[in-house]
Amino acid sequence: MADIVIIGSGPAGVSASLYAARSGLEVIVISKGIGNLAKAEAIENYYGIASPVSGGELYDSGVAGAKRLGVQFVQEEVVGLTFEERLVVLTTGNRYAADAVIIATGSERTVPKIQGIKEFEGRGVSYCATCDAFFFRNKDVAVLGNGDYALHEIDELTQVVSRVTLLTNGEPPYEKVDDGITCIDKKVTSLFGEQRLEGVAFEDGSTLAVSGLFVALGVAGSTALAKKIGALTDGSKIVVDENMATNIPGLYSAGDCTGGLLQINKAVYEGAKAATEATKFIKQKKAK
């Protein structure tokens, strides 16, 4: 059982894991693998690098260093975050309870290039079923996506709304989409409605009437995870104080997902700070 769970194994998450492990905590890092570093071909503005290194090389040596200190790495997709006496991180197959959690999931959600999607944000388009399902009770909605995260959002919505349709946006349905799920695999071209969303249009000219569209492409984005437990967000950023603490006791955030300078230096500092503060929080909790 972990004292602290860190979501994300980029510079922020791994830096946090080093500080937490060295202060004697049991640390689990859960991630889908390399994040933004995968796209960085040559890094030369980070301390201690004599000649440029690729993001992949930096990632591998960061993870190896943390493993040497006893950090446990788990490769899974996180789909939810909740509180049940302790904080609980939900992945596609497991639940991880901990006294503190650090969200270090990098920058942001995948917004599809579909006409009208931005315009209807907050007026029918949502990025979080846990947060917004209630507003669509007894209504017809759709989930845009085609993976584990989309299926998780469908599960949450089914308990509240009248009917959910999965829109794969032109992709063949993912293997776990079973017969119990109504699925349309046509490409979505636009959203329509007067004041609020009224439906989606497909490339063949057909339409589907829905009051809500839940975007769940790829994996759960940082702010979507934060909102699931009621942590404050500001646009695409998780809101933290100077100690990297969110408004939820025991929940911290670090790196690109808190906004500001989207650079390794800043992610590494914030990871260190979040873990230091989370360690104090855990030790105080255990002393009570």
Q: Summarize as ranges the residues that interact with ligand FAD (CB under 6 A).
A: 7-13, 30-33, 35-37, 39-40, 43, 45-46, 77-78, 104-106, 219-220, 255-256, 262-265, 267
Q: How far is the CB of 129 from ligand FAD (least distance, A)?
A: 14
Compute the distance between CA of residue 118 and CA of residue 14 in angstroms, rounded to an integer. 33
Q: How far is the CB of 88 from ligand FAD (least distance, A)?
A: 14
Q: How far is the CB of 204 from ligand FAD (least distance, A)?
A: 32
Between residues 14 and 167, which has the closer beta carbon with respect to ligand FAD?
14
Between residues 45 and 284, which has the closer beta carbon with respect to ligand FAD?
45
Tell me which H or E stretch contains 101. strand 100-103
Residue 38, classed as helix, strand or coil, is helix
Identity at 113, one-letter amino acid code: K
Q: Which residues contact 248 (CB under 8 A, 6 or more apart)?
A: 83, 229, 230, 231
Compute the distance between CA of residue 192 and CA of residue 106 in angstroms, rounded to an integer. 31
Between residues 38 and 209, which has the closer beta carbon with respect to ligand FAD?
38
Q: Are 102 and 222 in contact (CB under 8 A)?
A: no
Q: How far is the CB of 104 from ligand FAD (least distance, A)?
A: 5
Between residues 127 and 202, which has the closer beta carbon with respect to ligand FAD?
127
Closest CA to 282 of 104, 60, 95, 25: 25
Alpha helices in the chain (DSSP H): 11-22, 55-68, 129-132, 148-158, 222-228, 264-287
Between residues 32 and 283, which has the closer beta carbon with respect to ligand FAD?
32
Q: How far is the CB of 58 from ligand FAD (least distance, A)?
A: 9
Bridge partners of 245, per DSSP, are 252
Between residues 165 and 258, which has the closer beta carbon with respect to ligand FAD?
258
Compute the distance between CA of residue 285 and CA of residue 288 in angstroms, rounded to an integer. 6
Q: How far is the CB of 83 from ligand FAD (least distance, A)?
A: 18
CB atoms within 10 A of CB 201: 18
Between residues 69 and 262, which has the closer beta carbon with respect to ligand FAD?
262
